[in-house]
Amino acid sequence: MSTVSIRNLTETYPSFRLDGVSFTLEKGRIAGFIGRNGAGKTTTIKSMLNLVHPDSGEIRFFGENLQGNETAIKKQIGYSTGTVNWYPRKKLKEIIDIVRRCYDTWDEAKYRKYLKLFALDENKAAFELSEGMKVKANLLVSLSHDAKLLILDEPTSGLDPFSRDELLQLFVELKKAGVAVFFSTHIISDIERYADEIVYISNGQIMAAGEKSDFIATFSEHGESLEETFLRLERRENDA
């Protein structure tokens, strides 16, 4: 039973088409989701969270279909969608006080631990936080309710190198505890260092999904870094 199983996800917009997106992710694995701006990463992630309405396809978590099991599934998932501001004038603790009651598995000790780790002040309002701190605030919720899966849209954007490294180290710790992590990023070196798997999307189509080593064996040319491979593939796609 896969933690995540996406099959033939298709959605058509006037100027863009998510075309038969399919991939799986197993327990205790870290998958990096890469692709250019507008390639379909956020649309895919939003589909996984039932925020957008696909034309067709199947989204399963923990063997259960998202449709019909949305509440139970969402309680087992932690997610962060970039740095979007929720209630920018409300104190963090006011928002958290609402959110924590929504999760049966909320772990106050973990919440306190990550609050300290991220150096967040819960008496601050979102508008007082830097972009990086907003990302951390979103992650704080995701990490405080014993999620079995984290779905994160560009979680390292806006973070300083130290915070980024701390976060990615945290992913490794979570992985050891059996948590699956699916994160999109434009920082290929993060994937190179920490991901077990790569899901590569281009123009709404999955070009590769699987083991990082398989991706490198298939696409990399001699001595190339993952970033160089990715850039070459994207140039080729553009030229095609």
Q: Which is nearer to other proteins, 98 or 231 (CB)?
A: 98
To which residue do tokens 């509440």 refer?
71
Q: Which is nearer to other proteins, 86 or 130 (CB)?
A: 86
Tell me how far, at minimum, the Cβ of 159 lies from other proteins, in Å: 21
Instruction: Spell out the alpha helix ranges (H) of the chain.
Output: 41-48, 70-74, 92-100, 108-117, 131-143, 161-176, 188-194, 212-219, 226-239
Chain contacts with other proteins (rule: CB under 8 A): 46, 49-53, 70-71, 74-75, 79, 81, 84-88, 90, 94-95, 97-99, 101-103
Q: State the Cα–Cα distance between residues 2 and 42, nearest whole angstrom.
A: 21
Tell me how far, at minimum, the Cβ of 198 lies from other proteins, in Å: 26
Q: State the Cα–Cα distance between residues 202 and 38, nearest whole angstrom.
A: 9
Tell me how far, at minimum, the Cβ of 221 lies from other proteins, in Å: 39
Q: Which is nearer to other proteins, 88 or 178 (CB)?
A: 88
* Distance set, CA 74 to CA 36, 111, 149, 203 (Å): 27, 18, 10, 28
Tell me how far, at minimum, the Cβ of 50 lies from other proteins, in Å: 5
Q: Which is nearer to other proteins, 76 or 157 (CB)?
A: 76
